[in-house]
Every structure is written in structure tokens, then in C-alpha cells.
Amino acid sequence: MYLCPHSHHTLEQPIRKIIHVDMDAFFASVEQRDNPELRGKPVAVGGSKARGVVAAASYEARKYGVHSALASKIAAQRCPQLIFVKARFDVYSAISRQIRDIFYSYTDLVEPLSLDEAYLDVTENKIGMPSASIIAKEIKKRILEETGLTASAGVSYNKFLAKIASDMNKPDGFTLITPDKAEALVAGLEIEKFHGIGKVTAAKMQSMGILTGADLKLRSEEDLVRHFGKVGRYYYRISRAQDDRSVQPHRVRKSIGSERTFDDDLTEEDDLLERLQYLSEEVAQDMARLQASAKTVTVKIKYFDFTQNTRSKTYLSDFNSASAIFTIARELLRTPQLPAYPVRLLGIAVSSLTYQHDRLQEGYQLTLEL
């Protein structure tokens, strides 16, 4: 691109250049990269034919309606030739760090959302390149050369549009949304494709006659706030292709967490532990990025009937590894007893955080490695 400033952008506020990079079927693609026998075949990471939950599905498997968070049993019914592979989170984490290092060679304004996706603000960048499109294509090329994996990139002038763009031509996609095309594109978008509008909200909107971005734009801000609360203001803005959220590399947070809602409620301990392992890795990744360590772990459990409880434990020593988080979370899951009812959502959060820059003066060491 070269995104040209429009008259409504003042000189003090140059138009931003945001890239959203999303790895293609990340976990499954890593398994296909490392095992040539899996290439071109439907692969599910996590679970087994009899039980468990799919953590990721290859594109070959997706054609059969297999996707992450689907019960493995249903996945095997939809695709009888599906190959189940055990998740290797340590490998995915290492590759994720490799990819982030590529991002940091262009800008320090990197906001990872999970192991496999991130926002970058390249308005100002380390190579003095005015075109965000050229940077995005270069990043894709380098990811492929250095990891053997493909990524999709979306480029636009805000986070909402960049995220939508990266999803438009997967896998190995590149999409640019310029200011003159944005509003028409958002108007034609189905409401369930909007980032930030989940299944439940989409269903509520559809029942109100809001099926597309154009329908959403007809509603007043007051109306949306009345129906959806504070987030209604965000919906009002995104229907107009507006999003002023900045790319935030160093949010000083009180807690760091990750949670997942499952399509099918989980009842088996192994399934719950597999999910906890994944969440522990995600939280540890975030901690590493923020150079944080924690003393408290909280596990959130939401049941099939939407009741929920949380279980917490605080230690005297700091920890920051996925294995430490997982060990504590596993203990919390089993204390006082394993969930007695089917589980709809699991979450892990760590708190009582300290950041490395606060600790340097104190010559302080991370002691708890479980």
C-alpha cells in the first residue's frame, strides 16, 4: 500500500498502518511440516478417535467440518480418515518466538494475541519503509523461509480492518483494505464475520434483524448500548469501519489470562487437562513477552448451565513457566474435586505480577520451577 491520508485525518494524526499476521492452521501445519507423511492429509492436533477435543485442524480436515474446540468423536465421524496427532506445545511456543523475532526486526509495536497471531503498527518502522504492504509481504516471505510455514496478512489503517483482511484469503493470503474501500466492505460483511462479535451476540443481532454490517450501521449508538451494554459503542464504530484502539505492546496488566469456550461440553479429566495445558502455554507466552512473573494462579470453570466458579492459589515464590502454571492449575482443577458437571469454558489467569524491569534493582531470582 501507500495509504494516502484523507482530509478528515489531521496532520497531527497521520493515518496508521496496521498489519495483522495470522499463521495458517498453525499447530496442524507444524505437524505436517515435521512429518511428511501427514502432508496433504486431514490432520487433527489433540484428542483421539474415541475421545478428547481437537486443538487445531489442517485445511484438508476443515473441508469435512472439523475445527478447533470440536469433540474428537464428532470430528472422527465427520472425517473417518482423520489422523489424530498429539499436541507439542513446547515446539509451537519455540516457533512462535522465532516468528515474533521477525516482527521485532520491523517494529517494537507488536501485540501478540496468541501463539499464532499478532498486530503490528508499522506507521513508523525500523527499516524506514513507507509501504505497509511491502513490509507485510516481506514478513510472510521471511516466515516461510525461516520456519517453512505460511501466514496470512491483512493490512489496513486500524486493527479491526487488518484482522478482517487477514482472514479474507486464507491460507497464504494477503489483503489490503484502503480507506476508500473500507465502509463498503464492512457494510457487506455478515455479522458473524465481525471480529469481536461472538456466536451468542451474533445470534442476538440476527434475531433483531441485524444480519450484515449495513444493518448494524442503521442502528443508533444509544440503541446498541441499550441492547449490548458498553460494547455497543464499539459495534457502532466498527460498523463505520472506525477503530481507534492502538497496538499495545506493553500493557502493564494486573493479571494475564486466557480462556476457551467449547462447542461441546467437556466431562473427561484428560480433555480438561489437555485444554489446561494449552491455556498454560498461552499464558506463559504472554508472561514471557511482558517479562512478567506471578505468584497467583486462578482457574475459572463455567458449567453447561452457565454457573461458574473460580479456584485460586497464591505462592510465596514467583513462577513464569508453562509447566509451573499447568502444575498449579491441575491441582486447582482437582481441588476440592474435579468438576462434577459438564464444563463449557475453562480459563487460567495469573496475578500478583512483578515485571522484570521492576526487579532488576533487587537482583531477584525466579525460584519456583515445578
Q: Judge if pTM exceeds 0.85.
A: no
Strands 110-114, 43-45: pairing is unpaired
pLDDT (mean) for 85-98 = 89
Model confidence at 361, pLDDT cuts 50, 70, 90, reads: very low
The whole-number pLDDT of residue 251 equals 59
Residue 108 has pLDDT above 50, yes or no: yes
CA atoms within 13 A on the CB side of 284: 26
pLDDT digit string, tens, across residues 301-345: 999 888 999 999 999 999 999 999 999 999 999 998 999 899 999
| Residue 133 CB neighbours (<10 A) | 18
- Residue 117 CB contacts under 8 Å (≥ 6 apart), including other chains: 20, 21, 22, 23, 166
Strands 354-355, 292-303: pairing is antiparallel
Position 141: which residue type? K
DSSP 112: E
- Residue 112 CB contacts under 8 Å (≥ 6 apart), including other chains: 96, 100, 118, 285, 286, 289
Residue 276 vs residue 362, higher pLDDT: 276
pLDDT (mean) for 172-181 = 97
pLDDT digit string, tens, across residues 215-256: 999 999 999 999 999 999 999 999 999 999 999 986 567 889
CA atoms within 13 A on the CB side of 194: 35
- Residue 190 CB contacts under 8 Å (≥ 6 apart), including other chains: 211, 212
The whole-number pLDDT of residue 7 equals 43
End-to-end CA distance of the chain: 48
DSSP secondary structure, 257-268, as one string: EEEEEEEEEE--
DSSP 62: H
Mean of per-residue pLDDT scores for the chain: 90
Residue 370 vs residue 262, higher pLDDT: 262
Q: Which domains are delineated in the chain?
A: 18-23+90-178 (3.30.70.270), 26-88 (3.40.1170.60), 181-239 (1.10.150.20), 255-357 (3.30.1490.100)
Q: Which of 69-73, 248-252, 348-352 has the highest mean pLDDT?
A: 348-352
Catalytic residues: 117
Annotated binding site for Mg(2+): 22, 116
pLDDT digit string, tens, across residues 118-156: 999 999 999 999 999 999 999 999 999 999 999 999 999
pLDDT (mean) for 199-227 = 96
Structure-block grid coordinates of residue 93: 511456543
Q: How far apart are CA 356 and CA 320, in angstroms?
A: 11
| Residue 290 CB neighbours (<10 A) | 19
DSSP secondary structure, 272-298, as one string: HHHHHHHHHHHHHHHHHHHTEEEEEEE
pLDDT digit string, tens, across residues 34-57: 999 999 999 999 877 777 788 899
